[in-house]
Chain A
């Protein structure tokens, strides 16, 4: 569907929803209200879990913190619910920031377990604080007032909930379509990938975590003033997993899926409550949770991707528009040809008992193509990871443009002007080729989260898209700009990586086995491209296994074997070196 069709459809949906109170009973509307309140949490989870891959069992606790905060402020201390909202948001986001800062560096399942743990801890806390009414909770929470009118009836608060849900959705969709959103979508490609693009993975995760908590806070505030009563049971671990269920049923990573999931789960639960007693009048209460869990398990077994992606795949897809030309992004000044650019001095790296890189030294000067070659397992890739900061040195030093870069985080090295490609192509297969290349420009753009949400980043985005398009044309990929990156053949995927690296406007391009898996003609095209880049004053260091490919292309060669440098020089010199022949042609002569 085109963007316009989507927009029209969304407007119709919103108008239809606005008319709902005229058509349905109060009870049904109150179900709608619950759907909206739950959907806010689920939208946050869609962002956090679906997009960023952080599974949180603890969102119910955030809802609880917010609900208790506003209940405490309004019911116990007589402040306005609007002040309660402020307190709820500040407190919840603060709690999320602290917990996130502490736990978001954890590996996948450890992180999820920690969300389970603090979710439980916070849940228990509500029930054990005297001032918050222990297990019986807080009642008599005042309703929200707008201009002196109290939103008492479910039809009244319905519009507030609808407004907040719609605004949240719009903001989140804008956000996903921004510079920050792209970085977030790239997170699942792993830390090495995103950091190599100059993205601070941890900060990005933390921001997503706080945004999800913010949405949970809105939900908790609405919940407290709608039901006018809070108790620990509404925010326990079971509720935490229910939110997760909503996000997953709706669709992995789909924001609207959060709304769909919340609707399905809420109405399904209601149906189970209605119909189970007919099947088993005595044990209905017990069977409810069993049936619910069973349905969820079956869902995870057979339809893990969720409802929305399932439907979306069956709708006609939009014809994207080619980015219009826009002012170019600022460029770096490339160093003068022949100036020393990279200096590796006695680099050392061990893995357990293996010395992968043993006291290797070499230089790269601006404007040349240097090949780092050697048989498989010679330590080339390790050397490469040391250069780009993906691995830390055990000894020695690396200087880039006169500054030491060993010990610097990957993203700092990337921003200093070293852009890389990967031996095993690391693209985000479901994102378009254009979006993948845009990721490369991350470090050259400034727009942050708020600008993204409010769509104030459009000028910069237009420039970035024009730049990405320019790099795609440079690498001969313009016609594939809107294809999913994963659908291209390997040779083209390697070119996409090069385009992505070029979008960062690097001084030094480091390519990890760019010719591996390419056909003969693809290799020739690649060589032509690299020569063109050299003509454009770019410096290239390529790690390669294929000697023939390297020989015809590079200015100088460094040969490694067994972690040590065994030869260095012009291609012809290296080719004649008996040590190289020995290493390359094997010992069986």
Chain B
């Protein structure tokens, strides 16, 4: 079976500091793969490298194609889409324009209207605020907008960086429900999370990243029962 995305011994350095060291991750079509780990472990760095915003060494293959020399925009055109930790919304543009721009990379512009309605169905809050500037949204709404904008791109592979960051438990629950439901749309997901429990409950496969290296990997259902992980990340209760 051929993987959708393979990261093979990826390393990323900021100057002389190596933030990610020889990390290998693989995602099969239809899978949700999660990378968990503490703050500063290099999770976000890895995501930025995967989408091509940061230079990295090692090999990346997507749909069998070598991604060396393929820039961010071309990766987006091929169906990869990152919802970054910092959201990177267009704050001085309204919600609808933000969503519309999500579809910028797609050839079939005719379907944009319909997809916009789909996103509004999924996140009714966004519909209420469609004329409001993105910068005036609350944290949860911003995350919905970032997710919705990514869905407008009709991605094959969605890279989600800390989707629960700074959100209320209720909204976190909602976001994770949405993530789980994307599977039925045929979207594969690489999910980076601090909220280890929620991430492992949603994912098929998990990797643990610590100080730039993978220290553990396996089926999410197994990791969630691992006593060492429970002590470190899942809370000792």
B1 within 8 A of A: no
Known A-B contacts A486-B16, A517-B41; the reply to A581 vs B164 at CB < 8 A is no
Q: Are the C-beta atoms of A587 and B173 separated by less than 8 Å?
A: yes
Contact with B along A347-377 (1 / 0, CB 8 A): 0000011100000000000000000000111
> Which among B17, B162, B211 is the interface contact of A376 at CB below 8 angstroms?
B162
Known A-B contacts A587-B170, A588-B173; the reply to A581 vs B237 at CB < 8 A is yes
Q: Are the C-beta atoms of B197 and A586 separated by less than 8 Å?
A: yes
Chain B residues whose C-beta falls within 8 Å of the C-beta of A378 in the assembled complex:
166
Chain B residues whose C-beta falls within 8 Å of the C-beta of A457 in the assembled complex:
none
Contact with A along B33-47 (1 / 0, CB 8 A): 000001111000000
B169 within 8 A of A: yes
A562 within 8 A of B: yes
With both chains docked as a complex, state the minimum distance between the C-beta of A381 and any C-beta of chain B, in angstroms: 11
Known A-B contacts A487-B16, A548-B232; the reply to A517 vs B172 at CB < 8 A is no
Chain B residues whose C-beta falls within 8 Å of the C-beta of A354 in the assembled complex:
138-139
Q: Are the C-beta atoms of A588 and B201 separated by less than 8 Å?
A: yes
A583 to B137, CA, bound (A): 22
A377 to B41, CA, bound (A): 17
With both chains docked as a complex, state the minimum distance between the C-beta of A550 and any C-beta of chain B, in angstroms: 13
Q: Are the C-beta atoms of B198 and A376 separated by less than 8 Å?
A: no
How many residues on B have C-beta within 8 angstroms of the other chain's C-beta atoms?
36
Chain B residues whose C-beta falls within 8 Å of the C-beta of A148 in the assembled complex:
none
> Which among A375, A486, A517 is the interface contact of B15 at CB below 8 angstroms?
A486
Q: Are the C-beta atoms of B169 and A518 separated by less than 8 Å?
A: no
Among residues 113 to 153 in chain B, which have CB atoms less than 8 Å away from a CB atom of chain A?
A: 135-139
Residue of B nearest to A589 (CB): B197
B168 within 8 A of A: yes
Residue of B nearest to A547 (CB): B235
A377 to B172, CA, bound (A): 13
Q: Are the C-beta atoms of B235 and A376 separated by less than 8 Å?
A: no
Q: Are the C-beta atoms of A376 and B197 separated by less than 8 Å?
A: no
Chain B residues whose C-beta falls within 8 Å of the C-beta of A377 in the assembled complex:
139, 165-167
A582 within 8 A of B: yes
A133 to B192, CA, bound (A): 71
A519 within 8 A of B: yes
A429 within 8 A of B: yes
Q: Are the C-beta atoms of B172 and A586 separated by less than 8 Å?
A: yes
Residue of A nearest to B213 (CB): A519
Known A-B contacts A377-B167, A581-B237; the reply to A519 vs B211 at CB < 8 A is yes
Q: Are the C-beta atoms of A489 and B17 separated by less than 8 Å?
A: yes
Chain B residues whose C-beta falls within 8 Å of the C-beta of A513 in the assembled complex:
39-40
A378 to B15, CA, bound (A): 31
A160 to B99, CA, bound (A): 68
A585 within 8 A of B: yes
With both chains docked as a complex, state the minimum distance between the C-beta of B159 and any C-beta of chain A, in angstroms: 18
A547 to B202, CA, bound (A): 23
Q: Are the C-beta atoms of B15 and A429 separated by less than 8 Å?
A: yes
Chain B residues whose C-beta falls within 8 Å of the C-beta of A411 in the assembled complex:
none
A376 to B40, CA, bound (A): 12
A547 to B232, CA, bound (A): 9
A516 within 8 A of B: yes
Among residues 474 to 532 in chain A, which have CB atoms less than 8 Å away from a CB atom of chain B?
A: 486-487, 489-490, 513, 516-519
Residue of B nearest to A562 (CB): B168
Chain B residues whose C-beta falls within 8 Å of the C-beta of A202 in the assembled complex:
none
Q: Are the C-beta atoms of A586 and B135 separated by less than 8 Å?
A: no
Residue of B nearest to A580 (CB): B235
Among residues 160 to 186 in chain B, which have CB atoms less than 8 Å away from a CB atom of chain A?
A: 162, 164-170, 172-173, 176
B6 within 8 A of A: no
Among residues 308 to 362 in chain A, which have CB atoms less than 8 Å away from a CB atom of chain B?
A: 352-354
Known A-B contacts A513-B39, A548-B232; the reply to A519 vs B210 at CB < 8 A is yes
Chain B residues whose C-beta falls within 8 Å of the C-beta of A406 in the assembled complex:
none
B234 within 8 A of A: yes
Q: Are the C-beta atoms of A585 and B201 separated by less than 8 Å?
A: no
Residue of A nearest to B136 (CB): A353
Chain A residues whose C-beta falls within 8 Å of the C-beta of B210 in the assembled complex:
519
Chain A residues whose C-beta falls within 8 Å of the C-beta of B235 in the assembled complex:
547, 581, 584-585
Among residues 206 to 237 in chain B, which have CB atoms less than 8 Å away from a CB atom of chain A?
A: 210-211, 231-232, 234-235, 237
B194 within 8 A of A: yes
With both chains docked as a complex, state the minimum distance between the C-beta of A349 and any C-beta of chain B, in angstroms: 15
Q: Are the C-beta atoms of A518 and B234 separated by less than 8 Å?
A: no
B26 within 8 A of A: no
With both chains docked as a complex, state the minimum distance between the C-beta of A45 and any C-beta of chain B, in angstroms: 27
Residue of A nearest to B210 (CB): A519
A545 within 8 A of B: yes
Q: Are the C-beta atoms of B234 and A376 separated by less than 8 Å?
A: no
Q: Are the C-beta atoms of A583 and B169 separated by less than 8 Å?
A: yes
Chain A residues whose C-beta falls within 8 Å of the C-beta of B195 in the assembled complex:
375, 585-586, 588
A147 to B16, CA, bound (A): 59
Chain A residues whose C-beta falls within 8 Å of the C-beta of B194 in the assembled complex:
375-376, 545
With both chains docked as a complex, state the minimum distance between the C-beta of A543 and any C-beta of chain B, in angstroms: 12
Chain A residues whose C-beta falls within 8 Å of the C-beta of B165 in the assembled complex:
376-377
Chain A residues whose C-beta falls within 8 Å of the C-beta of B38 in the assembled complex:
516, 545-546
Residue of A nearest to B38 (CB): A546
Q: Are the C-beta atoms of A376 and B173 separated by less than 8 Å?
A: no
Residue of A nearest to B137 (CB): A353
With both chains docked as a complex, state the minimum distance between the C-beta of B47 and any C-beta of chain A, in angstroms: 15
A139 to B233, CA, bound (A): 80
Chain B residues whose C-beta falls within 8 Å of the C-beta of A581 in the assembled complex:
235, 237
Q: Are the C-beta atoms of A517 and B211 separated by less than 8 Å?
A: yes
Q: Are the C-beta atoms of B198 and A545 separated by less than 8 Å?
A: no
Chain B residues whose C-beta falls within 8 Å of the C-beta of A588 in the assembled complex:
172-173, 176, 195, 197-198, 201-202
A351 to B199, CA, bound (A): 29
A377 to B194, CA, bound (A): 12
With both chains docked as a complex, state the minimum distance between the C-beta of A495 and any C-beta of chain B, in angstroms: 14
Contact with A along B1-16 (1 / 0, CB 8 A): 0000000000000011
Chain A residues whose C-beta falls within 8 Å of the C-beta of B139 in the assembled complex:
354, 377
> Which among B17, B138, B169 is the interface contact of A587 at CB below 8 angstroms?
B169
A407 to B173, CA, bound (A): 39
Q: Are the C-beta atoms of A582 and B169 separated by less than 8 Å?
A: yes
Interchain residue pairs with CB less than 8 A apart (20): A352-B136, A353-B136, A375-B194, A376-B194, A377-B165, A377-B167, A490-B40, A513-B39, A518-B211, A547-B235, A584-B235, A586-B169, A586-B195, A587-B169, A587-B172, A587-B198, A588-B172, A588-B195, A588-B197, A588-B202
- A547-B235, A562-B168 known; 10 new pairs, CB 8 Å cut-off, are A353-B138, A375-B166, A376-B166, A377-B165, A377-B167, A490-B17, A516-B39, A518-B40, A582-B169, A584-B235
Chain B residues near A (Cβ < 8 Å) = 15-17, 38-41, 135-139, 162, 164-170, 172-173, 176, 194-195, 197-198, 201-202, 210-211, 231-232, 234-235, 237
